[in-house]
Structure 1
Amino acid sequence: MNVLVAGATGYLGRYMVNELVRHGLNVRVLVRDASKLDDIGPYHAPTIDRSAVEIFEGDVTNRESIQGVCKEMDLVISAVGLTRNAYGHSFYDVDYMGNKHLLEEAEQSGVQKFTYIHVLHGEKTDANILRAKIKFCDELKRSSIPSVVIRPTGYFSDLTNVLKMAKSGWIFLVGNGQARMNPIHGSDLAAFTVHQSLHKVGEFDVGGPQTFTYDEIAKLALRVQGRSERVFHLPSQPILLFARFLALFRPHQADLIKFFVLSMSTNGLGEQFGERELESFFRQYKLLEENEEVI
């Protein structure tokens, strides 16, 4: 089977590529800058062996630059999504239009299946980051290509912000800290995504093997950092009002705040999958950051 991975140099994309290679599949990677394949990825995600993949350089926001990227591909897996305000693009440019361009290429090339990495509870906020993702999912549903939509509860990597906050000895949470989630490691999410993509069609909510409240995650982070338990709770409404004001000047940052508030005030539970535990990840990440090592 021939598989295209878009967003291959991102955190999840790197694990996805290596998982597909481990399965013995022929992998093509769509990247903006091929030199990044040689680097350690975000949150110490692994490098990608150039000799194990076919490389296609292009930018999903520029339809002409990705013409032919899906040629002879059986499966497309898109981990394309904007996390920071890079290259002047908006969430609409990347999460919607970029993925739409990729889907159009897949349709023209006769791709047999299209997998998209979405997010859990995307319909519960007006943040543009989630509007763009939902808008693309609507496009995918209208497509003639069978599809798989993966909705992870949250990444271990996202929780490194809590771990970094814990280093100061103080953690501030939005809400009462009782919302529950089962976050998942990138390697486990990649394994789940590849399995579903090869064998199934539909939408799947997935998380890791352990369930926590946000209070429990905060206390775990403090314990890993060797700090006393100092967790403070902030009301969500003033923060959302601030985000509305911030949107007038910095819409990207405002959307991230809205998404952050949603995540911390809503239960995020999916099918339990994988073996990686959050405490082990926290301890390894802390060590790597302190020693500037790589996975």
Structure 2
Amino acid sequence: MHVLVAGATGYLGRFLCAEYARRGHHVTALVRDSRRAKGVADLLIQAEATQPQSLGGVMDGIDLVVSALGITRQADGLGYQEVDYQANLNLLREAERAGVGRFAYIHVLNAEAMAGVPLVDAKAAFVAALQDSDMPETVIAPTGYFSDMGDILKMAQAGRVWLFGEGTQRLNPIHGADLASAVADATDAGQRWLDIGGPDVMTQDAIARAAFAALGTAPRVTYLPDAVRKAILAALPILPRRISGPARFFLTALGMDMVAPRYGTRHLAEDFRDGR
């Protein structure tokens, strides 16, 4: 099978390329800058998904498109509607033209509960377009990545972790390699939707304490009233988009449980020890 991975140089994209290659598939990585993508896949195609004219012919002969394309923290002047929605829509339209067999997209868990958050709204709009298409789809909604938890480890390294409320919100983030395996399982099975998380359901407080344990230091956790989180959210729209965009997503997600069916073998506490 010929698989094209969009967003191939991101945290998850690299694991997706490796997983499909491990399963014996021919992998093409769609990248903006081939200099950043050495060794990622069998074939690199440099194109800009926000510019549909650059995509002509790139999916000819492709059986499966897997898109992990989206804005996280990068600041290149583009917005969520331009990337998370429109760039993915451009990929979908080219996939339709080329007769691709299936389009898989990495979404986010609890999108309905986060309506009004620009990043989530853009992703949800693309999912709606994908589901309206005649293209067979697989939508994967993960709880969050181990890489997202790196901010907690950094706070612990600095000596103190700050949490909102009592730190009782629960989540089970997933390692990129485990998520890539779950994505490949889902596309192999023709599954239309998959909510997915890692093997360990932990409170935010437990994650903070796991970070200190990995460092071998005594836990120092400060709990801020949840009203502070809500006040920051209310003030974020006046800040530049490159700051307010990711902050609105992460602060909204921090206010709810992000728990999905458990999958994988990699544990966050071990990842903290490896990354300390």
Q: Distance in 1 between matches of 2:101 and 2:184?
A: 15
Q: Distance in 2 between matches of 1:121 and 1:253?
A: 22
TM superposition score normalised by structure 1: 0.89
SS at match of 1:247: helix
TM superposition score normalised by structure 2: 0.95
Q: What residue in structure 1 maps to residue 152 of structure 2?
A: 162
1:285 and 2:275 correspond? yes
Q: Distance in 2 between matches of 1:101 and 1:66?
A: 8
Contact 2:164 2:228 in 1 (8 A): no
Q: Distance in 1 between matches of 2:225 and 2:122?
A: 27
Q: What residue in structure 2 maps to residue 102 of structure 1?
A: 91
Q: Which segment drifts farther, 264-273 or 129-138?
A: 264-273
Contact 1:150 1:203 in 2 (8 A): yes
Q: What residue in structure 2 maps to residue 75 of structure 1?
A: 64
Q: What residue in structure 1 maps to residue 12 of structure 2?
A: 12
Q: What residue in structure 2 maps to residue 256 of structure 1?
A: 246
Residue identity opposite 1:57 in structure 2: Q
Contact 1:100 1:136 in 2 (8 A): yes
Deviation at 1:256, TM superposition (A): 1.7
Q: What residue in structure 1 maps to residue 80 of structure 2?
A: 91
- Structure 1 gaps of 5+ residues are 39-46, 287-295
Contact 1:177 1:265 in 2 (8 A): no
- Structure 2 gaps of 5+ residues are none
Q: What residue in structure 1 maps to residue 127 of structure 2?
A: 137
Q: Distance in 1 between matches of 2:275 and 2:74?
A: 24
SS at match of 1:108: helix
Q: Distance in 2 between matches of 1:239 and 1:277?
A: 28
Q: What residue in structure 1 maps to residue 51 of structure 2?
A: 62
Q: Deviations over 1:119-170 (max 9, x none)?
A: 1112222211111000100101100011000011111110010001001221
SS at match of 1:17: helix
Q: Supply the RMSD in Å over aligned alpha carbons.
A: 1.4
Q: What residue in structure 1 maps to residue 216 of structure 2?
A: 226
1:122 and 2:122 correspond? no
Q: Distance in 2 between matches of 1:139 and 1:7?
A: 19
Identity across aligned pairs (percent)? 39
